[in-house]
Amino acid sequence: MVKLIASLLLCSFVLSAPVYADASISSAPKATTAKAPPAAAIPKSMSATQLKAFDGKNGHKAYVALNGKVYDVTNIDEWKDGKHYKGMVAGTDLTPYISQSPHGANIVKELDLTPVAMYKK
Ligand code: HEM
């Protein structure tokens, strides 16, 4: 009886397990083609040096740090080419300057921005 149950379990496992003869042409799950870069390409936390590369110039993405978090502002009209009002530029930490802005730090909530990484100087 035990043997029968064991072999039934084994059979159901073998039948339910997907078989991919050739993963490249089979129905194996493919990576999603999201527009954003793969999560692995963006570090979970970014240093000032890493952030600097995301300056919005020459096709680079435009990232800014604010209160310990990094936000992607690439597609915001007011951040075209990584430039903003009052000489603010992408690739930098704006925390010391946000109090001089008319909108304040709440702008990230208003725009519904999700941090792409934590900012660690
Ligand atoms: C995460 C950082 C920031 C984001 C996402 C952001 C985004 C925006 C957006 C969407 C606008 C246009 C809409 C509005 O006025 O609310 C704007 C306007 C403006 N921002 Fe920012 N901003 C940021 C940081 C800053 C900083 C650090 C400063 C200056 C110290 C600044 C200064 C201004 C000024 C002067 C305007 C123009 C307001 C006007 O007269 O129409 N921003 N910002």
Nearest CA to ligand 1 atom 37: 85
The reported pLDDT for the residue numbered 121 is 83
Cβ pair 51, 71 in contact under 8 A: no
Instruction: Compute the distance from residue 25 Cα to the ligand 1 centre, in Å.
Output: 49
Banded model confidence at residue 24, pLDDT cuts 50, 70, 90: very low
Q: Which two tokens stand for residue 58?
A: 């020459």
Global confidence as pTM: 0.74
Domains assigned to the chain? 45-121 (3.10.120.10)
Whole-angstrom Cα distance, residue 116 to residue 70?
A: 6
Q: pLDDT tens across 36-65, in order? A: 555 556 679 999 999 999 999 999 999 999
Phi, psi dihedrals of residue 110, rounded to the nearest 5°? -60, -40
Residues with CB under 6 A from ligand 1: 64, 66, 71, 73, 76, 78, 84-86, 88, 94, 97-98, 100-103, 107-108, 111
pLDDT(2) > 50:
no
